[in-house]
Amino acid sequence: MTIRHIQLRPDADPARARRALGALGLWTTPLLDADGRTIAYTVDPPSPPVDPAAVTALPDVARVLRAQSPHPRVDARADTPVTVRRAHFGGPDPVLIAGPCSVDAPDTIHAAAAHAAAAGATALRGGAYKPRTSPYAFDGHGPDALAWMRAAADAHDLAMITEVLSEHDVDCVAAAADVLQIGSRNMQNYALLRAAGQTGHPILLKRGMAATTDEWLLAGEHLLVHGAAAVIYCERGVRGFDPAARNLIDLGAVALLAHAHRQPVIVDPSHAAGRRDLIAPLARAALAAGACGVMIESHPDPTRALSDAPQATDPHTLRAIGAALGLTPAPPVREVAR
Ligand code: PEP
Ligand code: MN
């Protein structure tokens, strides 16, 4: 529970109290009585967590009032690692999730899985149901893609992550995937959050492109209320003002979720940058800010990608990124003929 109000003693020196509160890390706004005397401070804007005992120990403070958290289930999961097959979110190593934007064919998803494992990835992500801005763009091979991806993930002992776009598809996606992804456009689709949560799967929850961190955490609370095993938050960039990079990666929000809320948070530099040359440095920056993993779009042959080709990393670059993150590649698996 965070400190919201600080009531002063009748004989308090308000200016001294405010300096002491500021020194503890609290931003404050004075609350005045009818005579214009400062009798309390409200903590505003939100400030880092501070031990209430340290505040009540100040000579000018009478008592401290705390605010009830709007997301108790999220808070209860603070510092709880999430393990899905070999992927340990919040473990000692960062998690690399790799794979194509959309699953285009059985051979490419198998090759993508092999390259992902060789780069040290422990999860394969690809789209079977794609949210597309244009109704004319390729929107995924649906159930066929789910089956191809499941086989490819199993062949390389990778966790399978894929987006569910609609509550109508939740059962079929949950039957195939280990983790359901909720895309940016659906972060506040509460009917979908309910259905996805009810599967009991862990959920990868992408941040809405204009969502506040509170709205993001509350979307996580929706998932947990309905039964999700865990929520992994994914920052994918928010709407900024500068078109030079497609979206603005909010590393402040990543640090806030990782260090203040102590939640598993990863970054998707691919959809943030929209160009492959910036993915490696942004991935390193994400981990430095506190992310426990990164999700990178990769394709064995970007010339065959049916969506997001310009941001797809090739296998060589993916391997270099895995090495830069200090990951150990899985030993090669010899695939049986299909
Ligand atoms: C995706 O992950 O494939 C995607 C479409 O990203 P976002 O929901 O972040 O736009
Ligand atoms: Mn994509």
Q: For the whole model, what pTM was predicted?
A: 0.95
C-alpha–C-alpha distance, residues 263 and 277, integer Å: 29
Residues with CB under 6 A from ligand 1: 101, 127, 131, 183-185, 206, 236, 271
Question: pLDDT (tens digit, 9 = 90+) per residue, 290-311?
Answer: 999 999 999 999 999 999 999 9
CB 102 within 8 A of CB 306: yes
The confidence score (pLDDT) of residue 278 equals: 95
Question: pLDDT (tens digit, 9 = 90+) per residue, 225-284?
Answer: 999 999 999 999 999 999 888 999 999 999 999 999 999 999 999 999 999 999 999 999
C-alpha–C-alpha distance, residues 139 and 133, integer Å: 10
List, for the chain, all residue ranges whose pLDDT scores fall below the cut of 50: 337-338
- For residue 268, which atom of ligand 1 is closest to its CA? 9
The confidence score (pLDDT) of residue 70 equals: 96
- For residue 207, which atom of ligand 1 is closest to its CA? 9
The confidence score (pLDDT) of residue 336 equals: 52
The confidence score (pLDDT) of residue 158 equals: 98
Rounded distance from Cα 292 to ligand 2 centre (Å): 21
Among all bound ligands, the one having the nearest atom to the CA of 307 is 2
The confidence score (pLDDT) of residue 330 equals: 82
The confidence score (pLDDT) of residue 334 equals: 64
Among all bound ligands, the one having the nearest atom to the CA of 306 is 2
Rounded distance from Cα 102 to ligand 2 centre (Å): 7
The confidence score (pLDDT) of residue 335 equals: 57
Strands 230-235 and 28-32: unpaired
